[in-house]
Structure 1
């Protein structure tokens, strides 16, 4: 412990400060990596609004689906949150994560909003590969090309707490 001018400075407090900054930096780098992969998956068709949203929002998982809602890409956080590999998820509908605890009213609302190509924001009970339920906040946005044709949906997902 360093003592200066009648004050004690704990090296652990300094470490906590740097550790917090390190975690922020890692999170920012992961988001930038996600954006890089998204641009590749979407052939550069990623508007500035979506890019800003990804940089600003606190999410665990990104999921991109085709207009028919089959998964075409997930980020690394998907495996960490769900236990399913990227390879397993590709081609499936995100509804494979839902189970008996997922209210039908919620799944119907999501389905109707996506059918109308609206944005959806809410929470849903999903299930990990091991069957454990978890509460997930999701924000789903439609993505359009330069001709205003729907090309994909993107979902930003954040685990809220154990369901």
Structure 2
């Protein structure tokens, strides 16, 4: 049993989350499922970062697990290449439904065009931005979304992706 505990501790510490005593599993099993769900997204985002040679390595775990934000990554032309699975909870779209589309798909008649113009200027100039946008769910209902986004550069200084951290607000 002594060697088992050391091995399992080493395994879980390599996954970047804390081990839990066996006696507490009944209290944390639901959270364990979320950790596993987030880990898949973290692995995908890390692979995108590696393949595009980002100079900045965002803290995906902190943004997803600790801050419970949605992460959306687009290519340089603003086509969505990945969104974390928790986007479904915010707007009803699955990841597969939005890959290859632009974030504009979430906008509608009530979305403030001045805010969208400010975002467009920031993107065009490769600048970070923060905005609160009125978006629309898949079912057509409205929700307010806080967005913090910035360009991601490769090692040659070229913009290869944009990353946005999003959260629904009341």
TM-score in terms of structure 1 length? 0.75
Number of the residue aligned with 2:48: 41
For structure 2, which runs of at least 5 residues remain unmatched after alignment?
1-23
1:67-109, CA deviations, whole angstroms, 9 ceiling, x for partnerless residues?
1111111110122221122222111110110111110011001
Task: Count how many residue pairs are aligned between Structure 1 and Structure 2.
Answer: 141
Q: CA contact under 8 A between 2:79 and 2:100: conserved in structure 1? A: yes
Change in CA separation of 1:143 and 1:98 when aligned onto 2, cut-off 3 Å: same
Q: CA contact under 8 A between 2:55 and 2:154: conserved in structure 1? A: no
1:36-67, CA deviations, whole angstroms, 9 ceiling, x for partnerless residues?
111223316345551x3x33332431111111
For structure 1, which runs of at least 5 residues remain unmatched after alignment?
1-14
1:114-149, CA deviations, whole angstroms, 9 ceiling, x for partnerless residues?
111111112111100000100111111111111111
Higher strand share: 1
The two structures, once aligned, show a CA RMSD in angstroms of 2.3
Q: 2:124 aligns with which of 115, 135, 148?
A: 115
Q: 1:81 aligns with which of 69, 75, 90?
A: 90
Q: 1:149 aligns with which of 153, 158, 162?
A: 158
TM-score in terms of structure 2 length? 0.72
Compare CA radii of gyration and give the structure with the larger one.
1
